[in-house]
């Protein structure tokens, strides 16, 4: 009797843990990735907490200095995974355009998109960043 209860409790714990892990590993869609500029959090979107807060702050500081010197708007996105039916370039390009990175008149945006689990990264640039 006690053994059955312990087994049931263990199985409940196991399934709950797996459900939480599965939900946490959910691939992102473009509209689900938080825009750090809208949230007042700088230029780095790190929704899965892959980077430490200290690293995010260092990147934000470097981007701020870079933007002041070059007038190029930069965003960095790092996630575990994204939509399974999209290629990394297509996903990053859609994100770049959805967020409107860069100024419309000079098209001076730059996005660094990293998908950790797929081991993929992409730089998406506006035409105004060419030559930098």
Nearest to residue 76, comparing CAs of 118, 34, 50, 46?
Answer: 46
The 10s digit of each residue's pLDDT in 50-82 is: 999 999 999 999 999 999 999 999 999 999 999
Q: Are 46 and 53 in contact (CB under 8 A)?
A: no
Tell me which of 14 and 69 has the higher pLDDT: 69
Please state, as a whole number, how many other Cβ atoms lie within 10 Å of the Cβ of residue 131. 5
Q: CA separation (Å) from 99 to 6, 21, 30, 88, 128?
A: 50, 29, 9, 16, 17
Mean pLDDT of all residues in the chain? 85
Q: pTM for the whole thing?
A: 0.78
pLDDT at residue 6, as a whole number: 55
Q: Go through the domains of the chain in sequence order and give each one's CATH number.
A: 2-129 (3.10.310.50)
């Amino acid at each position: 009797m006690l053994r059955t209860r312990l087994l049931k409790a263990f199985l409940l714990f196991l399934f709950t843990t797996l459900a939480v892990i599965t939900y946490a590993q959910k691939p992102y869609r473009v509209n689900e990735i938080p825009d750090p500029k809208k949230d007042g959090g700088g230029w780095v979107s790190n929704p899965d907490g892959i980077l430490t807060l200290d690293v995010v702050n260092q990147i934000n500081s470097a981007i701020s200095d870079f933007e002041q010197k070059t007038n190029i708007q930069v965003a960095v996105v790092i996630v575990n995974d994204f939509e399974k039916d999209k290629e990394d370039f297509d996903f990053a390009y859609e994100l770049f355009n959805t967020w409107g990175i860069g100024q419309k008149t000079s098209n001076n945006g730059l996005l660094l998109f990293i998908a950790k689990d797929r081991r993929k990264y992409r730089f998406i640039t506006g035409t105004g960043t060419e030559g930098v």
